[in-house]
Amino acid sequence: MTMKVENAFDQLLHSMGLDDLISKKVNEVKAPMPGKVLAIHVEDGSEVKEGDSLLVLEAMKMENVIKSPVDATVRQIRVKAGGTVEKNEILIEF
């Protein structure tokens, strides 16, 4: 017997016939908006779980916690605390 745990998004993709997108591997985290990196909570080589806090990005005077979308190992952090980023700039590689 094989069991697979799916979240609501995976179930939606399955219902739409888009099963090939469910197992898509995430290799990087990009900035969802331009802003300033206030803090970095991981280091190169860190093991992270889905939902773990990676960094804090300040945008429009609000602090946004950027979380890991997957269980992974941080390969490279491409930003520095105090630096600014543009929308879609790569922040962290897995």
pLDDT digits (tens, 9 = 90+) for 15-36: 776 665 555 578 999 999 999 9
Model pLDDT, residue 6: 58
Give dist(CA 71, CA 51) in Å, integer: 8
| pTM exceeds cut of 0.95 | no
Question: Mean pLDDT in the chain?
Answer: 87
* The two structure tokens encoding residue 1: 């017997």
Q: What are residue 77's DSSP bridge partners?
A: 92
pLDDT for 3 beyond 50: no
Whether the pLDDT of residue 52 is over 90: the answer is yes
Q: Which of 30, 28, 70 is nearest to 49 (CA)?
A: 70
Q: Are 51 and 67 in contact (CB under 8 A)?
A: yes
Closest CA to 56 of 89, 82, 93: 82
List domains and CATH numbers for the chain. Answer: 26-93 (2.40.50.100)
